[in-house]
Amino acid sequence: MLTVDKTRPVGPAGRISRVETLTLGTAWRDFSYVRVHTDAGLTGVGEITHPYRARETCQLAEAMAGRHLIGADPFDVEEIWLRMYQGDFLRGGDVGGIVVSGVDQALYDLMGKALGVPAYRLTGGACRDRVRVYANGWYTGDREPAAFAERARATVAKGYTALKFDPFGAGLGELSRAELRRSIDIVAAVRAAVGPEIELYVEGHARFAMHTAARLVRELEPFDLGWFEEPLPWTHIERYAELRARATMPISGGEHFHNRYEYARLFATDAVDIIQPDLSMAGGFTEVRKLAAIADQHAMVVAPHNSNSPLCTTASVHAVLGMPNFKILETFDGLLEDYVFDAVRGALPVVDGHIDLPTAPGLGIELVDEVFAEHPPSHGFWNMFAEGWEKRDRR
């Protein structure tokens, strides 16, 4: 099972013949992709973006091609997933998890194209007519209550009915009294600016000590949050349930985990109310469907993390359409330059805070090489625990 069997009858997509990677530079981060070709003339694409390790994910994807992909039938998704994970001795971690995820997306793209149907038809069909999304990245700029409020109003004016933001600056472990008040004042200003009908989600970026997180759930209670995301480091996963018992708002998390094995302790400890797997980190379509099913067993809902490009946004729409316990999808698409959408031609647009049902075969996206050539990667870095990180100035 852990080797490519070229004697097995092949499906309508043919066999994988070539794998390549591309990286696009933007002001915020570099976006990386894998493109998988078959001998039937089909091409499938997936996202392998890592915020800081573009070279590593691309190198691993190209290396895995020779070990596990060339000659394989794209329809054998479960076997290919296992071959990459087990055969490459992946034991968790972001680079390997991202590569497996992106390749899996490309396989579903290939299958959809071979059959002439959108990818979501292969992952449970549709439970809904459109997908609700929330905006992130909208608060880039000065960390002041009035500035946050102004940008929140502008984002809601675009049709979004839900916003997520991190008001905590460079806080790590604890917050000084002044920084605590400033953070809470920012949340209060945003709530006052958008009114009671807009859902607000507050991001903790997995960085507070237990006593600080417990103080924050009390301070944030008046603002009727849709969730408080990852208030504690995952090194202290056993304390999440204790924090949930103190909180009046839902607790969410899970973007840091890359497959069901890493998620096992989260489920075993009932750490969160809402899981947030990322389609480009948590194993692609093949694995995220399983995570959603396990979450349903635990009375949890799914709100996928998606801090990547419009390709991952589009692929995530396909993934969640057939997910009964789906809640809402993240998007940073409003933060990006226009040329990003030229580079990933066919990405689904956000209209009035929603994305409509896809109609094109596969994912419906083609990568445009000329745009990639015009915008090479910068391999920059911004430190989320440095003062002023929310301005997203890369170095």
E-assigned strands of 166-254? 199-203, 227-229, 251-253
CA–CA separation, 310 and 190 (whole Å): 26
Dihedral (CA of 305, 110, 24, 63) sign: positive
Q: What are phi and psi of 199, to 5 degrees?
A: -75, 135
Q: 245: burial class by Cβ within 10 Å (0-12, 13-18, 19+)?
A: exposed
Q: Which of 34, 77, 44 is nearest to 286 (CA)?
A: 77
Contacts of 180 (CB under 8 A, 6+ apart): 215, 216, 219
Residues labelled catalytic? 205, 305
Contacts of 216 (CB under 8 A, 6+ apart): 180, 204, 208, 228, 231
Residues 68 and 53: beta-carbon distance below 8 Å: no
CA–CA separation, 299 and 127 (whole Å): 18
Residues 153 and 193: beta-carbon distance below 8 Å: yes
Contacts of 277 (CB under 8 A, 6+ apart): 254, 255, 257, 263, 283, 287, 288, 291, 292, 302, 304, 305
> Which amino acid, residue 370?
E
For residue 243, the SS3 value is helix
Residues 291 and 255: beta-carbon distance below 8 Å: no
Q: Which of 132, 130, 127 is nearest to 162 (CA)?
A: 132
Cα-Cα-Cα-Cα torsion 8, 14, 16, 19, nearest 10 degrees, comes to -170
CA–CA separation, 395 and 380 (whole Å): 5
What is the longest distance spanned by two Cα atoms in the chain? 68
